[in-house]
């Protein structure tokens, strides 16, 4: 009888011990789950990166040196238009922004300016579009086949004042009277004209001679012909030889209106 009581007591103690141990395991398991839930916190989203600035003063209009050299040699935008396929690049002030590549001043396309290898690249937005690589060297841009110089005056979209800055800008003498053409398209001393714009795209009808727009504004202006002879600037009326009164397909120089001598 005594032995049976001892066995029952031992079984009771073992049952209590095992129950306490299971409770401890349950408590430990509960604490472990709480810890996991507390650490499951979503990280804060990173702040968007700012567009990286280029390491050169790229923002502005860059013109082909081949075009510039031919323009200064011929003093004719019409004769210089086909000097090179890429005549101009308009660059942004930071990477990953839109840049424009202009082909012969007649057409072009836009792409993103990116850093690549030791230089830069304008990557076309079209999958099959071309990319244009260049390097910045001693204040200028260099491509595989050309160099580009930066114009001082940026101008406006579709009117970048290329020939105005490279060819026309300066002071002239008109029969003892001073006339000045500024790089940004202003003219003083030439009758009532205050605005001028030099055409650089001649791939169209009625573009057989070099032309300049003169007036008080773009809306209030007319086209005239011009040519340089050494330091003499000659401005002519335009004469249409093939047209219907509204559109002119062929023009030539008409009556000469002004003969100006460039001073600087």
pLDDT tens digits, one per residue of 117-161: 889 999 998 877 789 999 998 888 999 999 999 999 988 878 899
Bridge partners of residue 240, in order along the sequence: 251
Per-residue confidence band for 264, with pLDDT thresholds at 50, 70 and 90? confident
pTM as predicted: 0.78
Per-residue confidence band for 57, with pLDDT thresholds at 50, 70 and 90? low
Per-residue confidence band for 175, with pLDDT thresholds at 50, 70 and 90? very high
**For the chain, first and last CA: distance in Å?**
133
Mean pLDDT of 26-45: 42
Whole-number average pLDDT of the chain: 84
The predicted pLDDT at position 29 comes to 44
Mean pLDDT of 210-236: 97
Closest CA to 190 of 214, 213, 207, 166: 214
Per-residue confidence band for 115, with pLDDT thresholds at 50, 70 and 90? very high
Is residue 72 predicted with pLDDT exceeding 50?
Answer: yes
Is residue 231 predicted with pLDDT exceeding 50?
Answer: yes
* Angle at 247 (CA atoms; ends 76, 196), nearest 5 degrees: 40
Is residue 59 predicted with pLDDT exceeding 70?
Answer: yes
Residue burial 67-93, b: 16+ Cβ < 10 Å; e: rest: bbebbeeebbbbebbebbebbbbbbbe
Residue burial 196-233, b: 16+ Cβ < 10 Å; e: rest: bbbbbbbeeebbbbbbbbbbeeeeebebbbbbbeeeeb
The predicted pLDDT at position 25 comes to 44
Is residue 247 predicted with pLDDT exceeding 80?
Answer: yes
Q: Are 61 and 100 in contact (CB under 8 A)?
A: no
């Amino acid at each position: 009888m005594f032995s049976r009581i001892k066995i029952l007591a031992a079984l009771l103690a073992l049952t209590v011990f095992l129950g306490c141990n299971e409770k401890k395991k349950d408590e430990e398991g509960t604490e472990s789950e709480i810890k996991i839930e507390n650490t499951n916190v979503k990280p804060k989203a990173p702040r968007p990166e700012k567009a990286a600035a280029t390491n050169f003063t790229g923002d502005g209009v860059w013109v082909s040196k081949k075009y510039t050299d031919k323009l200064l040699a011929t003093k004719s935008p019409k004769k210089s238009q086909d000097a090179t396929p890429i005549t101009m690049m308009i660059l942004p002030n930071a990477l990953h922004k839109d840049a424009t590549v202009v082909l012969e001043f007649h057409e072009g396309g836009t792409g993103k300016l990116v850093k690549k290898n030791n230089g830069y690249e304008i990557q076309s937005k079209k999958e099959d579009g071309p990319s244009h690589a260049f390097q910045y060297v001693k204040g200028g841009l260099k491509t595989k086949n050309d160099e580009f110089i930066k114009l001082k005056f940026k101008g406006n979209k579709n009117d970048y004042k290329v020939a105005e800055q490279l060819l026309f800008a300066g002071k002239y003498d008109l029969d003892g009277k001073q006339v000045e053409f500024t790089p940004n398209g202003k003219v003083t001393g030439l009758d009532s004209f205050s605005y001028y714009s030099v055409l650089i795209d001649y791939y169209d009808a009625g573009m057989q001679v070099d032309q300049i727009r003169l007036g008080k504004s773009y809306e209030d202006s007319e086209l005239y012909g011009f040519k340089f002879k050494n330091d003499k600037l000659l401005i002519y009326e335009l004469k249409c030889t093939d047209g219907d009164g509204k559109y002119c397909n062929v023009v030539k120089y008409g009556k000469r209106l002004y003969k100006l001598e460039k001073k600087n």
